[in-house]
Amino acid sequence: MHERPLSGVRVLDLTNVLAGPYCSYQLMLLGAEVVKVELPGQGDLARRLGPDPALNGAGLGASFLAQNAGKKSVELDLKDPADRDGFTEMLRGADVLLENFRAGTLGRLGFGWPRLQEINPRLVYCAISGFGQTGPMSQAPAYDQIIQGLSGMMSVTGTPETAPLRVGFPVCDTVGGLAAALHVAAALARRSVTGKGTFLDVSMLEAAISAMGWTVSNYLVSGAAPEPMGDQNATAAPSGTFTAADGPLNIAANQQRQFETLCRLVDRPELATDPRFADREARKRHRGALGQELNTALRRRTAEEWERILTSAGVPAARIATVPQALRLEQLRHRGFLTDLPFPDGSARTVRVTGSGVLHDGEPLRPAAPPPLLGQDNDELPALAARWKGAEIR
């Protein structure tokens, strides 16, 4: 792949922590030039977040390193007249402006959508917030956990005894960032036809509810309120977590043929003709009894053995990995999902970052540079602004 899809696209990134930086990281992987605009002396809050206090103190927290490789960093205070002028010059040549302030904050700083259109009519302006720029909740503060709770996500996570539970990673931030990146790309495609910019108002709450898919649709269509089912799949059985000789095993025999194959391979072919388990609806009604029968049979082998046996026969099955185990999977190495980069401070250590999960013409998208030190590119700001404006004129 000689040129990335967004090569030549210029992104001004005012975001911090996760949803916005995750969006701009995806745009960077796709080829965009991303310049982070950070508050002087402080920078992105994520610079101080992570499990290593020394890195946090150095402004290179793991949370920051994870989502900011390949970007530039300049320090600007939008309340300072001189810095506002510098920001305005960058806006004139920018293709995309990202921010995840509370709704209306950028407008109160003098850069609302009407003013942005005056500065650059071709600008794609993407504002990411918890609830969107309008509505009765637009001014409420929101973090990932708040959105997880309000979206209904926590109510269906866990078992009837343990719910509500938070999903084990900031899923709403991530989904919000992905939604923003998708719509930025779409707005850029539209601009290539119309020549006009777009204002994108991204609501993390709405993106999260949209991503809940069948859980939401089942209620909208059937009126049946979803309930927490732990590790079981409401739409099929056996589909969930079972017990092998050495620990848990996921099996998703969602199709009749897969179920019959599973019964044969665990040496329980009679389960396929048992009236309690003969078809999908019957298995859902008797999933507890079916799970007991399968667990007894599955305890004869390890999870890894069952994974090999079942998957080779077309039955979806796999061990449950820890995060370190998942990152050591040969599949990820084969596809080039992880990239080692020099550490930002010039030390001998490296920083390993993730990719996008998509190959372009058979190649993974990798960042070309490590995450930036705070204000690393301050001295280049006039040259950057001039180059961006020159590119826009051309």
Which residues carry out catalysis?
173
- CB-count burial class (<10 Å; 0-12, 13-18, 19+) for 124: buried
Closest CA to 96 of 203, 207, 198, 204: 198
What does the alpha-carbon distance between residue 349 and residue 375 come to, in Å, rounded to a whole number? Answer: 21
What does the alpha-carbon distance between residue 125 and residue 187 come to, in Å, rounded to a whole number? Answer: 9
What are the structure tokens assigned to 177, written together? Answer: 């960032």
What does the alpha-carbon distance between residue 284 and residue 239 come to, in Å, rounded to a whole number? Answer: 10
What does the alpha-carbon distance between residue 306 and residue 299 come to, in Å, rounded to a whole number? Answer: 10
CB 206 within 8 A of CB 132: yes
Q: In what order do the strands lie in the sheet with 239-244?
A: 239-244, 247-252, 317-319
DSSP character for 79? T
SS3 category, 364? strand
Amino acid at 126: C
What are the structure tokens assigned to 371, written together? Answer: 């995450």
SS3 category, 252? strand
